[in-house]
Amino acid sequence: MVKLKAPSYLMLGMVRLGARSGYAIKKATDRSTRGFWPTSLAQVYPELGRLERAGLLRRSEDPRGARQRSVYEVTEQGEAALSNWLRSAREAPLQLRDEGLLKLFFADALPREDQLTLVRRQRERAQQAEQVIREEMIPLAEAQATTGARYPAIAAQLGADMYAYARRWFERLEQELTQAGQAYGRDR
């Protein structure tokens, strides 16, 4: 019995959504789950092998000309495993690392002017992240929605909305810093 973790289910789920080769899976994650679960080719190929040996994926050769190509489909066992995972209440704790937030946390060490610059930069980052999701991910996810998979678009929308909220939050903080001006900062 192999031990399955989130990346295993990511492969299973992606194959199920129609990304049949390792290369296609990597491309699909770059266009969809990258923001909350990135992956690299060096993870994809060994994991596909493991899942095949475990009987959760079935492999077949489907060359394109002289170029070899392995395509996968989810077996009944694989479907069951994915289903059980989706239904289970156990989840690895969310992990987040954001150097920008860390800087914000320590911003008291800066004079007020530089604090403002820092906050503005964080606002811009949130704005850009939102834009990438809206321009690159949502259109693709909505196209997918017409073929029956609604949740990729829902997840993308959640991401865009979260970044939009963060952007507004930083805007508000920017205003407060500008107005309350002289009251704060190292050089008050």
Partner DNA sequence: GGAAGCATGTAAAGTGTTACATGATTTT
Partner DNA sequence: AAAATCATGTAACACTTTACATGCTTCC
Which of 24, 54, 71, 104 binds a copy of itself (CB under 8 A)? It is 104
Cβ–Cβ under 8 Å, residues 159 and 122: no
CB of 23 to a copy of itself, least distance (A): 20
CB of 23 to DNA, least distance (A): 4
CA distance 169 to 85: 35
Per DSSP, the three-state class of 126 is: helix
**Residue 184 contacts a copy of itself per CB under 8 A:** yes
DSSP state of 92: P
Q: Which of residues 40-59 bind DNA (CB under 7 A)?
A: 40-43, 45-46, 48-49
Place of tokens 């914000």: 104
**Residue 32 contacts a copy of itself per CB under 8 A:** yes
Question: Which residue type, as a one-letter code, is found at position 61?
Answer: E
Instruction: Report the residue count for the chain.
Output: 188
Binding mask 108-147 for a copy of itself (x = CB under 8 A): xxx---x--xx--x---x---x------------------
CA distance readout (Å), 187 to 40, 112, 181 = 46, 7, 11
Q: Which of residues 72-91 bind a copy of itself (CB under 8 A)?
A: 79, 82-83, 85-87, 89, 91
Place of tokens 């906050």: 119
Maximum Cα interatomic distance, the chain, rounded to a whole number of Å: 71
Residue 60's CB is within 10 A of a number of other CB atoms, namely 10
Q: Which of residues 3-42 bind DNA (CB under 7 A)?
A: 5-7, 21-24, 27, 38-42
Contact positions vs a copy of itself (CB under 8 A) = 6, 9-10, 13, 16-17, 32-33, 35-38, 79, 82-83, 85-87, 89, 91-92, 94-110, 114, 117-118, 121, 125, 129, 148-152, 154-155, 158, 161-162, 165-166, 169, 173, 184
